[in-house]
DNA sequence: TTTTTATTTAGCAATTTTGTTAAACAAAGA
DNA sequence: TCTTTGTTTAACAAAATTGCTAAATAAAAA
């Protein structure tokens, strides 16, 4: 996360993001965040009204990124369906390597006791329709050609997201249980960019 | 989670597991756990030395289940590689529907500040070797036949785990962002049992 | 320079959470 | 019955965390 010479407010926000999204320390307190940002804890209350607002800002940022990625996937440039997916997979892997726990932060915050994460909900299901509509033609074509097994657009999206995101979340388990080291892990993740395409499309 | 007429210690443990593994409230305090178990909070300190030991017990249980599942996958009964995978996928989906956040609990606890989750490490890499050895022959055969794209055993395992586990974690996001309701979600997950096999093996 | 404003710090109060203890209660055995 | 043991409760102390404020400092404007 770029932190060089940032203004304090930005510094706090980005430190929080690093702790949550990169290091996956989802229980981190204002203490910890302030300390790691190298600023007085009071500044969290100066720039943000308090802990909850900081969390909300960080959360909203995550939602924005997530939406942006989905939009980028579906708001088609003039490239083929398959190339669109390839681009998404590569970008996605890069993103999950950088911020493996971003989505997990969102989930745990949604699950939190007194959470009011209504900003997530897609007003009229616009995003949903946009998404599914944009993908379904290309997907249907691939299915017809026998290059993708018969499935709904939802399932295809979930498969793609799963194959990109989960290995990032699972990293600590891989390292602890099968002693995969940092280098092997990175190599594996790079390989996945090609591999996921081969798994999604039978003819590659 | 079965809780009927359980003895207090068991009741506390299983309530904790429900809160963590099923509801995904990974920040839950002893307060909350005791209250939802309907017992006095002091009993957590009577049966477990404290919060940390309760967490450790719950964590160990999760590790045990995780190891057991991996062992079951690889300690081959006399069925084909492909049937082994099919069985694993079905079991896995069922498990993830029941306890969607079990692995996320483990990950966040590993990432926790002063955590000493050494019990995870596989003493001499036995599990790893056992696992990879047992899968590699069957996988090689499938690759040779062109039914699976060329990949390492690690990649194949990660693909399988991803496709089963991630949709469970992603449930709140699906519900919030694309308004997938409970029924649609369950239907989707059931469908996945067949679908994942089709994705893993090109000839199904 | 002086004044004003913005930022930062230290410290304290309020709240939450954890950990401990002594007493109350219940069940089982002598 | 009485005693012993195991279990539960309530109350309290200790620690951690949050939220707030007044004073100190730095920066900017007059």
pTM, rounded to two decimals: 0.91
Please report, rounded to whole angstroms, the spatial distance between the CA atom of protein residue B155 and the C1' atom of nucleotide D14.
49
- Per residue in A156-176, pLDDT (tens digit) is 999 999 999 999 999 988 888
Is A41 within 7 A of strand C by CB distance? yes
Task: Kindly state whether residue B9 falls inside one of the protein's structural domains.
Answer: no
Is B49 within 7 A of strand C by CB distance? yes
Question: What phi and psi values does residue A119 have, to the nearest 5 degrees?
Answer: -60, -10
What's the mean pLDDT in B56-80? 85
First vs last Cα of chain B: how many Å apart?
35
- Residues of A (91-120) whose Cβ lies below 8 Å from B: 101, 103-104, 106-108, 110-113, 117, 120
Cα separation, B72 vs A11, whole angstroms: 48
Among B161, B50, B155, smallest CA distance to B103 is for B161
Cα Rg for chain A, rounded, in angstroms? 19
Per-residue model confidence (pLDDT) at position B39: 97
Task: Kindly state whether residue A14 falls inside one of the protein's structural domains.
Answer: no
Query: What are the residues whose beta carbons fall under 8 Å from the beta carbon of A10, sequence distance 6 or more?
Result: none
Least confident of A5-9, A50-54, A178-182, B51-55: A5-9
Task: Kindly state whether residue A30 falls inside one of the protein's structural domains.
Answer: no
Task: Kindly state whether residue A37 falls inside one of the protein's structural domains.
Answer: no
Q: Which of B113, B161, B176 sits opposite A120 (nearest CB)?
A: B176
Domain count, chain A: 1
Is B67 within 7 A of strand C by CB distance? no
Q: Cβ–Cβ contacts within 10 Å for residue B167, how many?
A: 26
Per-residue model confidence (pLDDT) at position B2: 38
Per-residue model confidence (pLDDT) at position A91: 92
Task: Kindly state whether residue A151 falls inside one of the protein's structural domains.
Answer: yes
Query: Which of chain A's residues have a Cβ under 8 Å away from the Cβ of B107?
Result: 24, 104, 169-170, 172-173
Please report, rounded to whole angstroms, the spatial distance between the CA atom of protein residue B28 and the C1' atom of nucleotide C28.
37
Please report, rounded to whole angstroms, the spatial distance between the CA atom of protein residue B59 and the C1' atom of nucleotide D5.
31
User: Are B23 and A111 a contacting pair at CB < 8 A?
Assistant: yes
For residue A80, the domain's CATH number is 1.10.357
Q: Which of A112, A125, A198 sits opposite B149 (nearest CB)?
A: A198
Task: Kindly state whether residue A180 falls inside one of the protein's structural domains.
Answer: yes
* pLDDT > 80? residue B19: yes
Task: Kindly state whether residue A2 falls inside one of the protein's structural domains.
Answer: no
Per-residue model confidence (pLDDT) at position A1: 46
Query: Is there a contact between B73 and B161 (Cβ–Cβ < 8 Å)?
Result: no
Q: What number of C-beta contacts closer than 8 Å exist between A and B?
A: 179
Cα separation, B139 vs B192, whole angstroms: 21
- Per residue in B139-163, pLDDT (tens digit) is 999 999 999 999 999 999 999 999 9
- Residues of B (1-60) whose Cβ lies below 8 Å from A: 23-27, 32
Residue spans of alpha helices (H) in chain A: 8-17, 30-37, 42-47, 51-74, 81-98, 102-111, 126-144, 153-169, 171-177, 182-200
What's the mean pLDDT in A31-36? 97
* pLDDT > 70? residue B1: no
Per-residue three-class SS string for A80-122: CHHHHHHHHHHHHHHHHHHCCCHHHHHHHHHHCCCCCCHHHCC
Task: Kindly state whether residue A59 falls inside one of the protein's structural domains.
Answer: yes
Q: Cβ–Cβ contacts within 10 Å for residue B124, how many?
A: 9
- Calculated CA dihedral for residues A95, A98, A103, A105, nearest 10 degrees: -160
Is B46 within 7 A of strand D by CB distance? yes
Identify the domain containing residue B173 by its residue range: 49-198
Nucleotides of C under 7 A from a protein CB: 7-11, 16-22
Cα separation, B112 vs A25, whole angstroms: 6
* pLDDT > 50? residue B201: yes
Mean pLDDT score of chain B: 90
């Amino acid at each position: 996360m770029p932190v060089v010479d940032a203004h304090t407010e930005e510094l706090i926000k980005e430190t929080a993001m690093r702790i949550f999204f990169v290091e996956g320390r989802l229980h981190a307190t204002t203490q910890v965040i302030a300390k790691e940002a190298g600023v007085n804890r009071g500044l969290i209350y100066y720039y943000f009204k308090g802990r909850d607002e900081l969390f909300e800002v960080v959360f909203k940022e995550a939602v924005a990124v997530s939406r942006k990625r989905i939009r980028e996937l579906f708001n088609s440039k003039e490239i083929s369906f398959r190339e669109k997916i390839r681009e998404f997979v590569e970008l996605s892997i890069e993103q999950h390597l950088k911020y493996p726990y971003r989505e997990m932060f969102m989930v745990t915050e949604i699950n939190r006791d007194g959470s009011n994460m209504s900003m997530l909900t897609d007003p009229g299901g616009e995003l949903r329709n946009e998404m599914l509509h944009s993908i379904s033609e290309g997907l249907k074509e691939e299915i017809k050609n026998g290059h993708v097994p018969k499935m709904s657009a939802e399932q295809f999206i979930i498969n793609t997201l799963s194959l990109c995101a989960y290995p990032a979340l699972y990293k600590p388990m891989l390292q602890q249980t099968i002693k995969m080291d940092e280098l092997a892990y990175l190599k594996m993740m790079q390989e996945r960019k090609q591999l996921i395409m081969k798994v999604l499309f039978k003819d590659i």
